[in-house]
Amino acid sequence: MALSAIEKSLEKLGLKNLEMIYWNTPSPVLYEEAIRRREGHLSHMGPLVVQTGYFTGRAAKDKFIVDEPESSSNINWGDINHPISEASFDALFDRVCAYLDGHQLFVQDCLAGADSEFEVPVRVITQDAWHALFARTMLVRPVDFDREIGVDEPQFTIIHAPHYHALPSVDGTNSEAFILINFARRLVLIGGTSYAGEIKKSVFTYMNYLLPQMQVMSMHASANVGKNGDVAIFFGLSGTGKTTLSSDPTRRLIGDDEHGWSDKGIFNIEGGCYAKVIHLSFEKEPAIYDMTHHFGTVMENVYLNIHDRRLNLDDDRMTENTRAAYPITHVEGAIYPGIAGHPDNIVFLTADAFGVLPPISKLTPEQAMYHFLSGYTAKVAGTEAGVTEPEATFSTCFGGPFMPLHPHVYANLLGDKIKKHQADCWLINTGWSGGPYGVGERMDISYTRAMLNSVLDGELANVVYRQHPIFNVHVPQSCPGVPDDVLNPDQTWADKAAYEVKAYELAAHFHKNFEKFEHDVSDDVRSAGPVRV
């Protein structure tokens, strides 16, 4: 598209008198360095290391959805989806546009969605070259397939002004940071925070609004495919092992975080990966570790020694949430664009710090919907201020902060697709065994991998199962590479009575959390959870 057409398109948004627009280029400096490297003038080029300042993670309390007639009745308003008026959005939008007047901006036109039938043209307009590089890294890049988007106006636009700070008393925000999503105008306004994850998750939130209305299941999950074409999906919150377990050298990665499931199969919403890298090591996660030294990777808030230019992945002085963003094409064997068939196995990952859930269990479709709506894992002591004992945590659909529609919309879609395509569903606990956190031990990763491999290889199809007396899930009584007693958590506890007390305690947490869903699900799903005392 000609630059003049782009400028006219941006003028319609209120962005005028721009000093210069670098169209679909991450940074002239980066290009210059890439050319020098190709010509042999640089012996080594590492990742781009950046700092995001005060915000080193998502500003969850500063995200708002515009309350307007077109989308209002569809939104699940509440603790996560906070409303802001159209008038407040328009006023802040005008102030941001006035602030950007005369600035140099970087513009990227990319796609959300690897399947061309459901792709959404996305335009990201940002102040910083590195944020433009991040957007280009994380989204699907049409240029990779010799394509041009070819539209004057994209379907979805992000205006990213990280150095503009709101005034809460004037703008109606909670702080100087703001993430405002206007579904009617297909527009997101981000400011006051340089944390790049806000760009990525704004796109995901929009797709979570759009895709289910097209009968496509949107999923906060990773996915891979085996040599025989069998597809596996992994749902899991932070710390449960989603990235680690889906990064398997014997299987091809489809994507590490966001996917859609249509009537044709699954597809990656993104074109890159955004991995947490704190305490990362080559021994535990060689594929991801290699990306931390790769040219083109964007490293957020990782400590860089300015004297020897070495990264210290164990240094958390800026945050525990250190990140690496890299194109999925950097991952050996990855599928790009990420399109595959229907899943054969769906795995829900949890890290149960109470030490009472079985390390692996099979779920009925109704139990899968129950656990999907619950989205359980647990915090352990020391992870957050004030957490001294294991604490149950529930994130609806394993991605509540990014789900604007009512949870039952996503759960019903999942249930329908599981039944239609006969996917097997599993709950894998990567948490504690033999007692709660502080008493028992974290589940041996070699056992977890053995259980997962048995799932993917079909080796658990013909073993004997036992229904757990409290959680109602079906527990295999044998698994290659795993001692039989490990499979039954009560047998790993020295005090069996103490196990029962803790198990019922966790069951009560499930029941309390599920109260908000009881009127939106069938009796079969409602009764698919743990037993009641």
Residue 475: which of 423, 485, 523, 436 has the closest Cα?
485
Residue from 238, 329, 364, 478 carrying the catalytic annotation = 238
Residue from 58, 63, 252, 509 carrying the catalytic annotation = 58
| Omega before residue 436 within 30° of 0, cis | no
Residue 231: which of 414, 482, 455, 446 has the closest Cα?
455
Q: Is 250 a catalytic residue?
A: no
Residue 530 backbone dihedrals phi, psi, to 5 degrees: -65, 160
Residue from 256, 257, 352, 424 carrying the catalytic annotation = 257
Q: Which residue has the tokens 């698994």?
A: 479
Residue from 63, 323, 406, 408 carrying the catalytic annotation = 323
Q: Is 350 a catalytic residue?
A: no
Q: Are 362 and 465 in contact (CB under 8 A)?
A: yes
Residue 337, CA distances (Å) to 175, 255, 329, 340, 508 in order: 38, 10, 9, 9, 43
Given its phi and psi angles, is residue 260 left (phi above 0), alpha (psi -120 to 50 degrees) or beta?
Answer: beta
Cα–Cα dist 75/407, whole Å: 10
Cα–Cα dist 183/206, whole Å: 8
Report the sign of the C-alpha dihedral through residues 288, 455, 220, 241, in that order: negative
Residue 13: which of 108, 110, 94 has the closest Cα?
94
Q: Is 466 a catalytic residue?
A: no
Residue from 123, 136, 185, 201 carrying the catalytic annotation = 201
For 236, the 3-state DSSP assignment is strand
Residue from 137, 157, 202, 243 carrying the catalytic annotation = 243
Q: Is 408 a catalytic residue?
A: no
Extract the tokens encoding 241.
């092992």
Q: Is 257 a catalytic residue?
A: yes
Neighbour tally for 479: CB within 10 Å: 22
Residue 448 backbone dihedrals phi, psi, to 5 degrees: -60, -45
Q: Is 527 a catalytic residue?
A: no
Q: Is 160 a catalytic residue?
A: no
For 77, the 3-state DSSP assignment is strand
Q: Is 309 a catalytic residue?
A: no
Q: Are 205 and 107 in contact (CB under 8 A)?
A: no
Neighbour tally for 201: CB within 10 Å: 23
Residue from 141, 160, 200, 220 carrying the catalytic annotation = 220
Provide the annotated active-site residues. 58, 201, 220, 238, 242-243, 257, 323
